[in-house]
Amino acid sequence: MRIVLLGGDGIGPEVMAESAKVLRALIPGIELAEHPLGAAAIESDGDPLPPATLAACLASDGVLMGAVGSDAYAWSARNPEDGMFELRRQLDVYANLRPFHAPGVDLMIVRELIGGLYFGARGTRPDGTVFDTCEYHPDQVRRIVRKGFELARARGGRLTSVDKANVLATSRLWRSTAVELAREFPDVALDHLLVDTAAMKLVQDPTQFDVIVTENTFGDILSDVAAAIAGGLGEAASACLTDDGPGLFEPVHGTAPDIAGKGIANPTAMIRSTAMLLEHGLGLPLQAGRLDDALDRAIATTATPDRGGAATTAELGDAVLAQLERTEVGDVL
């Protein structure tokens, strides 16, 4: 198995090192190849997504990506995030899965990842007007909503489609597509919420949701709301999937430049993303469960500063390794 590691920027390389540790422990002989992305790639190659990085990702069995971004390039014509967006587009990872767990909460947000505002035409007109275009092709909507139905069928059987159909034409297409596809999934209960109502209900009572499917910008915002409810961005993981090709797996948190290089970043989200790589990217659910279980045990006794402890990034990674050594694959089902 060949996995590409994109450490990215800020704390990205630090937390990525802990994922490399656990992957080598779980899959002896796994091939891990490190490549630059984002600000680090601009500095080394003059390009946020160097051709060699893209080629390695396309030829891999899966990609792990750290946080990307730097204030030094925040307002430049080509910024680090451009590399991330282009990588998502090239891999066609249209389905972003973001699971959230808290007492009484077991929620999956399914976010469309390569359409909408973030990928539409943008620019400035001669009169100074600035524009960003949100557009979706019916096929883009159909495949992500179908993914939401499939996941809901395998979970609690409830799908909430989130849109802004009272205002936006793209949302009206979204809602009509969800209604159309519901006929193929009679065992899944479908309901619709406007995005502002969905945000309010998430804060009021997240236990009422099973699977939420929504477009790119709405999914970005709602995922952060759900992360705050479930313990913060520092522990939120995600999987970005396509129908044919390697997936992209990444933590939801940012580059945290204020603590970068200090060795105190919490690698939980990165390791959770590694478990999602094992399950959704490599088809190894037992190893994924084993890693999640080892991480749960490790964080119960080893806390990084953001969780009120004094453990370093590496110490938490070592604690996960120690827990892995105590279990066999068959212990976690």
Q: What is the set of active-site residues?
A: 118, 164, 196, 220, 224
Report the phi/psi class of residue 192: left, alpha or beta, with left for phi > 0 and alpha for psi in -120 to 50.
beta
Instruction: Answer for the pair 80, 43: CB distance below 8 angstroms, yes or no.
Output: no
Check residue 38 and report its DSSP letter: T
Task: Measure the CA–CA gap between 199 and 235, rounded to whole angstroms.
Answer: 20
Task: Measure the CA–CA gap between 178 and 203, rounded to whole angstroms.
Answer: 24
Task: Measure the CA–CA gap between 268 and 174, rounded to whole angstroms.
Answer: 34
Task: Measure the CA–CA gap between 234 and 266, rounded to whole angstroms.
Answer: 7
b/e code 268-283 from CB counts within 10 Å (16+ = b):
bbbbbbbbbbbbbbbe
| Helix 285-301 and helix 268-276, axial crossing angle in degrees, nearest 10 | 170
b/e code 108-122 from CB counts within 10 Å (16+ = b):
bbbbbbbbbbbbeee
Task: Measure the CA–CA gap between 26 and 323, rounded to whole angstroms.
Answer: 12
Task: Measure the CA–CA gap between 89 and 91, rounded to whole angstroms.
Answer: 5
Instruction: Answer for the pair 196, 93: CB distance below 8 angstroms, yes or no.
Output: no
How is residue 273 written in tokens? Answer: 């993303």
Burial class (CB in 10 A: 0-12, 13-18, 19+), 136: buried
